[in-house]
Structure 1
Amino acid sequence: MEFLTRHGVTHFDATVDGYDSDTLARHKDEAAKHGVELEMIHIPWQDSIGLADEGRDEAIDNVCQWIENAAKAGLRGLNYNFLVLRASEGAGGGVQRTARRPGRGGSTYSSFVLAEYDNDKRYAAGEVSREESFERAKYFVERIMPVADVNNIQMACHLNDPPSQVLNGVEKWNFPVFDGLKRFSELVDSPNHGFNFCCGVASEGLEDPGKELPAIVKYFAERKKIFNVHFRNIRGGLNDFSETWPDEGDVNMHEMVKVLHEAGYEYMLMPDHAPHHADDVAPEGVTGRVRQAWAFQFGYIIALIQAVENESAG
């Protein structure tokens, strides 16, 4: 917690060690003692939901219970992934990547190059069309959103990463990016149905992220469909990209903050998928993200927020 407060963080989300209401409340209270607010948690993805197998209904029941527990603990919402393709080996689990690329100062960047990716391999999902992916998504959100609405819990879906057209036989539901996100957002009519919007993932599916991304962010922010933002930047675009430091990618992140501010967005801007370096390791006994990289990103985000607020104030 001191790492967060030391770097100016006031609100955060987390992956926690249990999802019963008492455990969630304990984590929220512990954060409050350090002057930060635990707003949301990441819930573990239940593979049966995306695969639509015999365990799907039980898995959805688990999510519904976590929603109720989150409300009892006083959380604002839950971040989740809707995944059909989840590779158990070689493709990075829920995120598909190829070899890392060298970056500035000896750091390395998470990267994806379709031409270098083993796209012939098949995993548990087999071959799934985009229409079938949306049918499975609809089944899921139609079950959980009535529970979320009763409990006033925002359900924020992270974008599939990367949004290539077809990977390992699965057509990604968020490709084309703008159309896919619109369709997902309209699966149910609920003020609590929206996105953990990752600027990086959206950019990964665009031909020219610097020009295309602002309009996409504006559209969903104005419609109050963004409940959390992963503030990633990339270099490249569709089928060939690297996740860079936020100040050196192809997207003008200052413009992203302006778009969100003007649309009335009021929630978190979070670092995500930071570059790696051999010197950047967590202290012994501490799990989690790269520390130096996140410290840099915290400062960068805070500076952009201050700049945009000062500009708007005249």
Structure 2
Amino acid sequence: MKRREFLVAGSAGLTAGANATPAAVAPDWKPTVPPVAAPIGKKGKGRPKLGTQNSSDEAYLKILSGLGVSNICATLPSRSYDANWSVESLTKLRERVEANGISLDMIPLPLSSAYITKHEYPDIMKGESPQRDKSIEDICKMIRNCAKAGIPAMKYNMSILGVVRTAPSKGRGGSQLSTFKYAGAKQEPALTEAGPVPADVYWERITYFLERVVPVATEEKVRICCHPHDPGMPKGKGWRGVETVLGSVDGLKKFVSIKESPYHGLNFCQGTISEMLVNPAKEIMDVIRYFGTRNKIFNVHFRNIRGGFLDFQETCPDDGDVNMIQAARVYKEVGYSGMLMPDHVPHIEGDTRGFQAFAFAYGYIRAILQQLENEA
């Protein structure tokens, strides 16, 4: 919920700056078969679950349970390594969630999608040593404590820009849709506080992190999943001096191969990945198959868009270009049995915190899952 409110509030500020020329097409990619690894579970036997990423407050858990939400990613325990990240505290969190009939499948690491000046550990993405080594050490402690507390997965971002949007646009019923139009958008100031970050520099920082963290996650058997850069930007141009290397399918393919491990994968934001594609309705299914058959999809942000690369709106799940029922069938096809969770719902007048929009999305996903069960 808070992330959505941040997006709406911050959209106006992202429209300022110098004009830029869009690329004509998204970065090329081609699906490769056969897969290099067996799918999660038996092919065609995936059992996706209705999930969400929300508060673990007792009252809210009861509402989620009543709406049919069976699995969650809780909110961030703390922005830095403190008592909230102790094994005892994390165990209590898991037990509180389970007491309401919900499984705690995941929690976030303090590596959020915030803009670099609001980031919890900015030195990691700025590549500032030796500070980043201490920060990475903190991240590794969090992973080890999650393992001891019985929490099987963690999500994170490798973000400098945060979530970039231009001015919102109107959707059905006058709702506000989070929107991005690269053409004519102003990039101001020309550089972020991180300075110029070309692709090779960004990859060095990502690799430095993965080489130190993935072995710990593998040892502790905790799945760590990274969210793509949102949105993808023109290759070689980026945004405000930052090349969004995790903003293309090719970039994500490279990312999951850097440090091969069954515990290193993606927080597969279907909406963000659709934003990377020229024709999401046709292309997204093969992208799901590519990463799904390689066991690299650990969580799914099940959201829809209208439009495509460099020009899109975020919509309700039933109101975009992608056939979400077919997408769910493909997750099942590749053996995915993790969470399908709503994300970035439109802002509807009177629904000040997005609760009603999210409730609509929960019901929509639950209906799809029932359809899949009936088809089985």
**TM-score calculated relative to the size of structure 2:** 0.77
| SS of the residue 1:302 aligns to | helix
Structure 1 Cα separation of the partners of residues 242 and 137 of structure 2: 25
Question: Does residue 172 of structure 1 match 2:211?
Answer: no
State the 1:16 CA deviation: 3.3
Report what 2:227 is aligned to: 158
Higher relative contact order (CA 8 A, sep 6+): 2
Say if 1:16 and 1:41, in contact at 8 Å, map to a contact too.
yes
Higher alpha-carbon deviation: 125-134 or 189-198: 125-134
Structure 1 Cα separation of the partners of residues 373 and 150 of structure 2: 29
Q: Aligned pairs, how many?
A: 296
Question: Does residue 127 of structure 1 match 2:202?
Answer: no
Structure 2 Cα separation of the partners of residues 112 and 22 of structure 1: 43
Give 1:37-48 correspondences, 5 Å limit: 37-45=103-111, 46-48=121-123
Of 326, 329, 337, the residue aligned with 1:258 is 329
Say if 1:15 and 1:43, in contact at 8 Å, map to a contact too.
no
Cα deviation code 1:128-186 (max 9, x no counterpart): 111221111111011001110111000000111111121111111124x2211100010
**Unmatched tracts of structure 2, length 5 or more:** 1-60, 78-83, 112-120
Structure 1 Cα separation of the partners of residues 311 and 336 of structure 2: 30
Structure 1 Cα separation of the partners of residues 185 and 142 of structure 2: 36
Letter aligned with residue 171 of structure 1: E
| SS of the residue 1:170 aligns to | coil
State the 1:80 CA deviation: 0.2
Structure 2 Cα separation of the partners of residues 99 and 268 of structure 1: 31
Letter aligned with residue 48 of structure 1: D
The list of structure 1 runs, each at least 4 consecutive aligned residues, that deviate by more than 6 angstroms after superposition, is: none
Structure 2 Cα separation of the partners of residues 118 and 65 of structure 1: 41
Letter aligned with residue 76 of structure 2: V
Give 1:52-201 correspondences, 5 Å limit: 52-54=127-129, 55-83=131-159, 85-86=160-161, 94-121=162-189, 122-165=191-234, 166-175=238-247, 177-201=248-272
Report what 1:22 is aligned to: 88
Letter aligned with residue 78 of structure 1: M
Higher alpha-carbon deviation: 199-208 or 45-54: 45-54
Structure 2 Cα separation of the partners of residues 63 and 239 of structure 1: 33
| SS of the residue 2:178 aligns to | strand
| SS of the residue 1:167 aligns to | coil
Report what 1:302 is aligned to: 366
Report what 1:285 is aligned to: none
Letter aligned with residue 164 of structure 1: M
Letter aligned with residue 27 of structure 1: L
State the 1:21 CA deviation: 2.0
| SS of the residue 1:13 aligns to | strand
Report what 1:246 is aligned to: 317
Higher alpha-carbon deviation: 115-124 or 131-140: 115-124
Say if 2:76 and 2:110, in contact at 8 Å, map to a contact too.
no
Report what 1:286 is aligned to: none
